[in-house]
Amino acid sequence: MVANLIQHDFSGKIVLITGGSGAIGSRLLNFFSSYGATTVGTYRDEMSIDITLSKPEGIDLFRCNTMEDADVTSLVNTIAKKHGRIDILVNTVGGYLGGKSVVDLEEEEWNKMFGLNLLSAFLITKHVLPLMLRSGYGKVVHISSYTGVSAQGLDSAYASSKAGLIRFVESVSKEVKDYNITVNCVLPLIIDTKSNRKMMPDANFKHWVKIDEVVKIIAFLSSDDSRAMTGSAVPVLKST
């Protein structure tokens, strides 16, 4: 019976995936597209499009540095002009920096983590929300990290920026709770991606969560089945 509740029908929805060239973002683009959505993705580096997204059909891709207000403004204006609204925003832009003590950490590295993980989230949310408020509908999902609730050590900039994202999500969700807009985030630990396998070749990959498992949780948070959930930070840790 429960299976009947999870419909995964996104037909007619306008979906924006930031970081569409990344491991999670590219899978999300294909996922939403295959369930009927009009899907728009962003990338930063032209090269990564060729690597992760082979000839995406029916998916619009825009170059956008999500740490730049002008880029984000122009992206959202372009989508608004073409589609009139954005129903679902999944922000996957982010980056990791670990293995460095706070003593050795450079100010530039600290700022980069906060730029990628927090400023980007702020800018994209700030510019997409007015469209959602206008249409009276919206689903926003950010990718934070389990490290945002429990740091591993030697990851102060990453952990603090992801922790900040959790509070950001909670705060914004309360701002828009009366407007049929939900704002949530997911908290994966290590995801089984190509780049993680390359960085940690001796790890037991079986213990890592699969990309598709993260995608399924994001799909739920992007669907009307999760209309009663907002401001949540959902751990996505275990893979079988």
Q: What is the DSSP letter of 145?
A: -
Distance CA 14, CA 82 (A): 11
- Check residue 16 for interaction with ligand NAP (CB under 6 A): no
Distance CA 171, CA 95 (A): 22
- Check residue 23 for interaction with ligand NAP (CB under 6 A): yes
Is the separation of the CB atoms in 43 and 20 below 8 Å? yes
Q: At its nearest, how many Å lie between ligand NAP and the CB of residue 235?
A: 11
Q: At its nearest, how many Å lie between ligand NAP and the CB of residue 148?
A: 9
Residue position matching structure tokens 């032209």: 46
Distance CA 103, CA 139 (A): 39
Q: Please tell me whether residue 87 adopts helix, strand or coil conformation.
A: coil
**Of 12 and 206, CB closest to ligand NAP:** 206
Inter-axis angle of helices 211-222 and 23-34, to 10 degrees? Answer: 50
Residue span 53-82 as binding mask against ligand NAP, x where in contact by CB under 6 A, dash where not: -----------xxxx---------------
> How many residues would you count in the chain?
240
Touching ligand NAP, residues 217-236 (CB under 6 A): none
Stretch that binds ligand NAP, among 44-52, 75-83, 102-110, 124-132 (CB under 6 A): 44-52
- Check residue 39 for interaction with ligand NAP (CB under 6 A): no
* Phi/psi of residue 45, nearest 5 degrees: -110, 120
- Check residue 93 for interaction with ligand NAP (CB under 6 A): yes
Residue among 10, 14, 21, 185 that touches ligand NAP (CB under 6 A)? 21
Residues forming contacts to ligand NAP in the complex (CB under 6 A) are 19, 21-25, 43-45, 48, 64-67, 92-96, 116, 143, 145, 188, 190-191, 193, 196
